[in-house]
């Protein structure tokens, strides 16, 4: 029996070693593959043969329709030598899909990915540095700065911003009137005072923090003066747990104690939109996707007139929100990097960006974003305005791990399991240790 035990441990470690070395080996292989491709010149462009590029995207249903029926045909008409093969990927397990694809040399040429993933994949060596590509400077100057910066890693740019978004404050009009306001509160103090009144009037929740995590809480945390890192994203200690951040988190915890925050934050019912529609929640925050989904949907029984949407309330940190969105990246082992770049460049020019804006995707191209036809969508103006002051989540390769740590600190604090200062101190220490790894 003992003998078997030993053997099985031996076999297990051999299997593990094999699978690990297999991953490592191919990672290196695919990176060198990409390099040789790049130096190998410009395949296909000069020949008459049609080149097919693979594009993975995660657009929703309405958006995909616009992409396949309007955007891609337009590109193929202008560039008859390139055919774009679209594959819609489900969001579940997507990151693992991409890693498997990269390791097995089966990644597509291009992919639309969450802005927060780019530094991580760039560090892995999976993406091409597009800043060395033809016409990059022009592209860079045509788009908004903040979304562009989410592609930055190690002195290079590993993608281009395809669409951007942020969250704004959305109020229930009936409850606003009930607390005696004609328009939405502008400052944090007015907002908190109105929230208290709304709760007295029988609302079930007033401050719309959707969950104890960075995406849900950061707009309030930042507006209250908190910070995740220093401005260069290099230091956490003294910023995440600095006095302003501690004060900000303490304020949020205090709101929670007073019952001002919507129950959704800690997993309670109703959900954010459900509560808002039923006159139970005073305010929530959300991105533009919901408007576009709801307004393109029949029998959505949602009347946009019942809500007021506006900037996040302004605290000592300003009116802050969080930048979201997607970037377009080219993989290192792309077989046709030149054609992929042609398509990427084209997608962020004015015309295609205007078409996609109709599906609710906020353009990153400055001209397109300020075009009257785009701004006439009722919700677009407020989002574009909020984007001017919105902040990105920390664009570093370790962000995935960092976010888990910050989320835990926020959750511990709002659940009362830890004092805000202690929670942030611990988080800062843990993040420093992964940054210095």
Partner 1 sequence: MKTKWYLQLLVYTVIIMGALAFLFPFVYMILTSFIKSAYSLPRPKEIFSVVPNLDNYFLVWNKNNFARYFLNSALVTVVSMVGSMLLGCLTAYGFARFQFPGKELLFRVFLLTTMIPGVINIIPQFLIIKNLGLVSTYWGLWLIYIGGGVVGSTFFLRGFFQSIPKEYEESVLIDGGGNWRIFWNIYLPQSLPAIGTLAVLSFQGTWEEYFTALVIIKDEAMRTLPIALLMFNDKYATNYGWVFAASIIALIPTVLLYIVFQKRFVQGGFNEGGVKG
Distance, in Å, from the CA atom of 133 to the CA atom of 159, rounded to the nearest integer, reads 11
Angle (nearest 5°) at CA 41 between 119 and 135: 55
**CA proximity to 239, closest of 425, 419, 410, 397:** 425
17 binds partner 1 (CB under 8 A): no
Taking CB under 8 A as the criterion, the residue among 105, 190, 351, 377 binding partner 1 is 105
Report the residue number, 36 or 91, with the smaller CB distance to partner 1: 91
Query: Which of positions 262-281 make contact with partner 1 (CB under 8 A)?
Result: 269-274
Report the residue number, 96 or 305, with the smaller CB distance to partner 1: 96
Distance, in Å, from the CA atom of 325 to the CA atom of 336, rounded to the nearest integer, reads 25
306 binds partner 1 (CB under 8 A): no
The piece of 1-9, 117-125, 189-197, 309-317 that touches partner 1 (CB under 8 A) is 1-9
Query: In degrees rounded to 5, what are phi and psi of residue 179?
Result: -90, 10
Report the residue number, 23 or 266, with the smaller CB distance to partner 1: 23
Report the residue number, 85 or 370, with the smaller CB distance to partner 1: 85
100 binds partner 1 (CB under 8 A): yes
Is 309:169 a contact under the CB 8 Å cutoff?
A: yes
Report the residue number, 18 or 177, with the smaller CB distance to partner 1: 18
Report the residue number, 63 or 382, with the smaller CB distance to partner 1: 63
92 binds partner 1 (CB under 8 A): yes
CB of 305 to partner 1, least distance (A): 18
Taking CB under 8 A as the criterion, the residue among 294, 295, 308, 434 binding partner 1 is 294
301 binds partner 1 (CB under 8 A): yes
Taking CB under 8 A as the criterion, the residue among 34, 185, 226, 287 binding partner 1 is 287
CB of 59 to partner 1, least distance (A): 9
91 binds partner 1 (CB under 8 A): yes
CA separation, residue 259 to residues 94, 115, 207, 262, 331 (Å): 37, 34, 9, 8, 48
Between the two ends of the chain, the Cα-to-Cα distance in Å is 41
| Interface map 25-64 toward partner 1 (x if CB under 8 A) | -x-------------------------------x-xx---
Report the residue number, 106 or 174, with the smaller CB distance to partner 1: 106
Report the residue number, 275 or 317, with the smaller CB distance to partner 1: 275
Report the residue number, 16 or 304, with the smaller CB distance to partner 1: 16
Taking CB under 8 A as the criterion, the residue among 36, 49, 80, 96 binding partner 1 is 96
CA separation, residue 287 to residues 148, 216, 314 (Å): 19, 11, 18
The piece of 81-89, 184-192, 249-257, 415-423 that touches partner 1 (CB under 8 A) is 81-89
7 binds partner 1 (CB under 8 A): yes
436 binds partner 1 (CB under 8 A): no
174 binds partner 1 (CB under 8 A): no
Report the residue number, 229 or 307, with the smaller CB distance to partner 1: 307
CB-CB neighbours of 319 under 10 Å: 23
Residues in contact with partner 1 by the rule CB under 8 A: 4, 7-8, 11-12, 15-16, 18-19, 22-23, 26, 58, 60-61, 87-93, 96-97, 99-101, 103-106, 269-274, 287, 289-290, 293-294, 297-301
């Amino acid at each position: 029996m003992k003998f078997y035990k030993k053997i099985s441990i031996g076999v297990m470690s051999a299997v593990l070693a094999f699978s690990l070395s297999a991953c490592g080996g191919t990672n290196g292989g695919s990176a060198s593959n990409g390099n040789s491709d790049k130096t190998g010149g410009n395949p296909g462009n000069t020949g008459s043969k049609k080149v097919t590029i693979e594009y993975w995207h995660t657009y929703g249903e309405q958006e995909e329709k616009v992409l396949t029926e309007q955007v891609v045909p337009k590109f193929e008409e202008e560039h008859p030598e390139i055919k774009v093969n679209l594959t819609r990927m489900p969001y579940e397990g997507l990151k693992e899909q991409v890693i498997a694809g990269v390791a097995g040399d089966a990644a597509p040429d291009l992919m639309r990915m969450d802005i927060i993933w780019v530094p991580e994949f760039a560090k892995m060596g999976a993406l091409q540095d597009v800043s060395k590509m033809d016409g990059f400077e022009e592209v860079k100057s045509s788009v908004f700065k903040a979304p562009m910066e989410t592609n930055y890693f190690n002195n290079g740019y590993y993608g281009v911003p395809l669409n951007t978004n942020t969250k704004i404050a959305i109020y229930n009009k009936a409850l606003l009137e009930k607390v005696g306001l004609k328009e939405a509160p502008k400052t944090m103090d007015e907002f908190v005072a109105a929230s208290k009144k709304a709760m007295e009037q029988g609302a079930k929740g007033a401050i719309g923090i959707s969950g104890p995590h960075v995406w849900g809480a950061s707009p309030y945390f930042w507006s209250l003066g908190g910070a995740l890192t220093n401005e260069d994203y290099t230091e956490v200690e003294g910023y995440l747990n600095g006095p302003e951040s501690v004060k900000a988190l303490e304020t949020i915890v205090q709101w929670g104690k007073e019952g001002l925050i919507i129950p959704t934050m800690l997993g309670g019912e109703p959900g954010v939109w459900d509560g808002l529609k039923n006159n139970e929640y005073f305010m929530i925050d959300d991105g533009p996707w919901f408007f576009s989904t709801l307004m393109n949907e029949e029998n959505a029984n949602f009347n946009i007139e019942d809500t007021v949407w506006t900037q996040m309330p302004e605290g000592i940190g300003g009116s802050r929100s969080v930048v979201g969105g997607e970037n377009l990246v080219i993989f290192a082992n792309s077989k046709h990097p030149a054609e992929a770049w042609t398509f990427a460049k084209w997608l962020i020019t004015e015309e295609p960006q205007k078409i996609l804006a109709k599906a609710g995707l906020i353009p990153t191209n400055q001209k397109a974003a300020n075009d009257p036809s785009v701004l006439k969508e009722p919700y677009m103006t407020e989002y574009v305005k909020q984007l001017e002051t919105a902040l990105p989540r920390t664009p570093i390769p370790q962000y995935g791990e960092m976010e888990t740590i910050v989320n835990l600190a926020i959750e511990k604090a709002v659940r009362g399991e830890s004092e805000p200062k202690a929670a942030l101190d611990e988080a800062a220490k843990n993040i420093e240790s992964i940054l210095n790894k």
